[in-house]
Structure 1
Amino acid sequence: MRKALMSAGIVTLLIMTGCSNSDATHSAATDKNASNTVQGETAPDDSMAMGNETAGGQMHHSGSAELPAGLQTAQNPEFPVGTTVIMNMDHMPGMKGAQATIAGAYDTTVYSVSYTPVTGGEPVKNHKWVIHEELQDAGQSPLKPGSKAILNADHMPGMKGAQATIDLAQQTTVYMVDYTPTNGGEPVRNHKWVTGEELSAK
């Protein structure tokens, strides 16, 4: 009888120990899964974010102050070099509403273009802006909407060398600007291009 009771006690103890270990393992797994879920909600994977930026045609932020050959400096721009302005467009994240300084003003024909990047990827529609001097062998006369042209600009990955269709053409003054994005990014230097219609006096 005593042996039977001892055996029953040992079996009970083993069952309890097994449940305890199983519960602890399940609890740890649950905690880990919960932690992963929270991290997934609050801290997206960086590689995915970078991939999305690339897929979306992320523009280069700062650029060279070097100008295309033949580009003429504006003689009487609405916003002279050194003027502080507010940008009213959103070509890039953090641009709209940002305070900018005019780094250059030029008279030219500006184009909105659509093209497929030479590096592959989705077609880019209505990219703003490319200027006449950034088109390969474009000649002297402005191109009309619907015309085809090869891009010499490299504002975005896969742009240079791509064949583009002109969506919009406008003779105007274009500006190169320096600014700090409103979303807290690094300062941008020599951003090309914005038009006077996209700027307002500070």
Structure 2
Amino acid sequence: MTRRLILATAATLGALTLSACSTADEPEQTPATSATHDHESMQHDHAQDGGAPPGGIVEATDATYPVGTDVTVLADHMPGMEGEKGTITGAFDTTAYAVSYTPTDGSDPVVNHKWVVHEELENPGPAPLADGTEVVLTAEHMAGMSGATATIDSSTQETVYMVDIEADGMTMTNHKWAVESELEPAK
């Protein structure tokens, strides 16, 4: 009986928490706007130096934007990122995933985080993984990410890039990741 009461209480609290995310004056958030909100709150947790690419990832041999190419970033993963200039520091042939997860450090859940690559998943099996697949992250892009259980929201087979970029007053080197459709030639 106690277990049922605990589960019922947890379900009720979860529903109340979700309903408290928007008011009558605010539109309900979609996963895309939630992801932006989550990145805004976690912006300073994002590593300024993304470090080396993960082991086992394959360098792209025919990338549209080879290493050293200046680009304009179209992605809005973090505030101030969209429209900024960047320089490609790595180009790879892999599968990129948007994932939702609860960080291991107890911070708020992250919805539709873009991107982690196949090589940043623990024992993932063959790529691509289906939407809805539960995985364990080995990526360390932000605090609480490595070791977190995540659900794959979507995937893409585009060339994946590491980029040096300045966004919202923060210089990031080897930012992980931008996919090809999120970049254009620098103007």
**TM superposition score normalised by structure 2:** 0.74
Aligned partner (choices 99, 112, 115) of residue 85 of structure 2? 99
Gaps of 5+ in 1: 1-51
Aligned partner (choices 122, 139, 145) of residue 108 of structure 2? 122
Contact 1:174–1:193 (8 Å) recurs in 2: yes
How many residue pairs align between the two structures? Answer: 149
Q: Which residue of 2 aligns with 1:113?
A: 99
Q: Which residue of 2 aligns with 1:80?
A: 66
> 1:54 Cα deviation (Å)?
9.1
Tell me how far apart the structure 1 counterparts of residues 38 and 96 of structure 2 sit (CA, whole Å): 25
> 1:122 Cα deviation (Å)?
1.8
> 1:68 Cα deviation (Å)?
1.1
More helix by share: 1
Matches within 5 A, 1:103-182: 103-181=89-167
Q: Which residue of 2 aligns with 1:201?
A: 185
Tell me how far apart the structure 1 counterparts of residues 77 and 127 of structure 2 sit (CA, whole Å): 27
Contact 2:40–2:78 (8 Å) recurs in 1: no
Higher radius of gyration, 1 or 2: 1
**TM superposition score normalised by structure 1:** 0.69
Give me the CA root mean square deviation.
1.9
Identity, % of aligned positions: 48
Extract structure 1 runs of 4+ deviating beyond 3 A: 52-55
Deviations along 1:4-50, one digit per CA (max 9) or x if unpaired, are xxxxxxxxxxxxxxxxxxxxxxxxxxxxxxxxxxxxxxxxxxxxxxx
Tell me how far apart the structure 2 counterparts of residues 101 and 108 of structure 1 sit (CA, whole Å): 20
Tell me how far apart the structure 1 counterparts of residues 159 and 70 of structure 2 sit (CA, whole Å): 16
Q: Which residue of 2 aligns with 1:68?
A: 54
Deviations along 1:91-125, one digit per CA (max 9) or x if unpaired, are 11221111000000000000000011111122110
Contact 1:55–1:122 (8 Å) recurs in 2: no
Tell me how far apart the structure 2 counterparts of residues 55 and 195 of structure 1 sit (CA, whole Å): 20
